[in-house]
C-alpha cells in the first residue's frame, strides 16, 4: 500500500500509456485529414461530446466508488482481525484456570496458532505458498494436519477451536467464558469469509465492458468535435482529456482487487507482523521480530 506521495510521470502513465499513444495518433490523423485533405465530414457537434462526457463521468464516478468500497471493506476486515487477535489472547490469559506454568504454555500455544492463522490467511488471499511464516508457529503435528487440508487457514482456526474445547472439557475454562471465546473465534471465521468473498467475487465484467466501450466511443469522437474550432490544439487537448478518463478508470481497476500483492494492496504482511509482535509481547516471548518498514513509499 502506498503510504507516501511520490510524484512520477511513469507511475501516472503506467498501464494506460498504450491507449494514450493510440488516442494521440488518432487525433493527429483526424487533424491531418480535416486540415490538409478537406475531410470536413469529420467535424462532429461539440454538444453531443459534452453530453457523452457527462454520462461517462457519472459512470466512472460510480465505478470508482464501487472499487473503493471493496478496498475499504477489505481494510476494515483486517482491522477487525488485528483487534480480535489481541482480544483472543487477552481472553485466554484471563479465562484459563491452571497453574501458572501450565497456563503460560496454553496461552503461548494459542498465541502462536493465532499468528500462524493470520499469516496463512494473508498468503492464501495473495495466492502465495500458504504456510510461509505460518509454519514457524506450528508444531509438526499441526503442520501435517494443516498441510493436508484444502483450506489451510480454516484448518488452523479449527485447531484453535479444538484447543479451547479440550481446555473446556478439562474444566480449565468455565462454560460462560468458553462461550465468549467461541464468539471471538466466530468473528475471526466471519472475517476470513469476508476476505474470501471479496477475493473470489469478480467485479461485474459487463459493467466494466460497458464503461470501456463508452470511453472508446468518447475518445473516437472527441478529436472530431474539437478540430474545427481549435485546429491542431485538438491533439494535446484530446490527449489530456483522454488521460483523465483513462486514469480514473485505471484507479478503479487497481483498487477493485485489494488482495493481489500489488502496491495498492491491503498491507497484510505488515498487519500480520504487527499482530505477531503484539501477541508475542503479550505472552512475554524472548524474541520479538522487527516491524516491517516501507520500501520506496510502499508497505506490503
Q: What average pLDDT score do residues 17-39 get? A: 83
Query: What is the C-alpha to C-alpha distance for residues 275 and 118, in angstroms, rounded to an integer?
Result: 8
* Burial zone of 277 (CB within 10 Å; 0-12 exposed, 13-18 middle, 19+ buried): middle
Grade residue 13 by pLDDT with cuts at 50, 70 and 90.
Answer: low
What DSSP state is assigned to residue 289?
A: P
Q: What is the per-residue pLDDT for 205? A: 77
- The mean pLDDT of 28-40, rounded to a whole number, is 81
pLDDT reading at 43 higher than 80: no
Burial class (CB in 10 A: 0-12, 13-18, 19+), 35: middle
- Helix H segments across the chain? 9-13, 17-36, 46-95, 100-125, 140-147, 152-169, 175-200, 205-230, 234-255, 268-282
Q: Are 115 and 137 in contact (CB under 8 A)?
A: yes
pLDDT of residue 208: 79
Q: Cα 40–41–43 angle (5° rounding)?
A: 75
Q: Is the model's pLDDT at 9 over the cut of 60?
A: no
State how far the Cα of 160 lies from the Cα of 117, in Å rounded to an integer: 9
The mean pLDDT of 8-27, rounded to a whole number, is 74
**What's this model's pTM, rounded to 2 decimal places?**
0.87
Query: What local confidence, expressed as pLDDT, does residue 173 receive?
Result: 93
Query: Could you tell me the pLDDT band of residue 4, with boundaries at 50, 70 and 90?
Result: low
Find residue 298's DSSP bridge partners.
2, 295
What confidence tens digit (pLDDT) does each residue in 61-78 have? 888 898 899 999 999 999
Q: Give the tens place of pLDDT for each residue, 231-259.
A: 888 888 888 888 888 888 888 888 888 89
Amino acid at each position: 500500500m502506498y503510504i507516501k506521495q511520490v510524484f512520477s510521470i511513469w507511475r501516472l502513465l503506467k498501464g494506460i500509456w498504450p491507449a494514450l499513444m493510440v488516442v494521440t495518433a488518432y487525433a493527429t490523423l483526424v487533424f491531418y485529414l480535416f486540415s490538409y485533405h478537406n475531410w470536413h465530414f469529420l467535424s462532429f457537434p461539440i454538444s453531443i461530446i459534452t453530453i457523452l462526457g457527462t454520462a461517462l463521468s457519472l459512470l466512472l464516478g460510480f465505478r470508482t466508488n464501487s472499487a473503493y468500497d471493496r478496498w475499504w471493506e477489505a481494510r476494515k476486515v483486517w482491522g477487525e482481525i488485528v483487534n480480535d487477535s489481541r482480544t483472543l489472547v487477552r481472553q485466554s490469559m484471563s479465562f484459563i484456570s491452571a497453574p501458572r506454568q501450565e497456563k503460560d504454555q496454553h496461552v503461548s500455544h494459542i498465541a502462536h496458532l493465532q499468528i500462524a492463522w493470520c499469516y496463512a490467511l494473508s498468503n492464501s488471499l495473495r495466492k502465495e505458498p500458504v504456510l510461509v511464516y505460518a509454519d514457524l508457529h506450528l508444531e509438526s503435528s499441526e503442520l501435517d494436519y494443516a498441510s493436508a487440508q484444502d483450506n489451510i487457514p480454516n484448518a488452523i482456526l479449527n485447531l484453535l477451536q479444538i484447543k479451547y474445547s479440550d481446555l473446556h472439557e478439562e474444566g480449565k475454562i468455565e462454560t460462560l467464558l468458553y462461550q465468549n471465546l467461541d464468539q471471538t473465534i466466530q468473528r475471526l471465521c466471519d472475517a476470513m469469509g469476508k476476505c474470501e468473498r471479496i477475493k473470489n467475487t469478480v467485479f461485474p465484467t459487463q459493467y466494466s465492458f460497458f464503461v470501456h466501450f463508452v470511453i472508446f466511443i468518447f475518445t473516437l469522437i472527441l478529436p472530431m468535435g474539437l478540430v474545427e474550432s481549435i485546429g491542431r490544439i485538438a491533439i494535446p487537448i484530446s490527449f489530456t482529456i483522454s488521460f483523465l478518463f483513462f486514469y480514473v478508470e485505471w484507479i478503479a481497476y487497481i483498487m477493485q482487487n485489494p488482495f493481489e500483492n500489488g502496491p495498492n494492496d491491503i498491507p497484510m504482511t505488515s498487519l500480520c507482523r504487527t499482530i505477531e509482535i503484539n501477541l508475542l509481547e503479550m505472552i512475554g516471548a524472548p524474541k520479538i521480530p522487527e516491524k516491517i518498514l516501507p520500501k520506496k513509499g510502499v508497505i506490503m
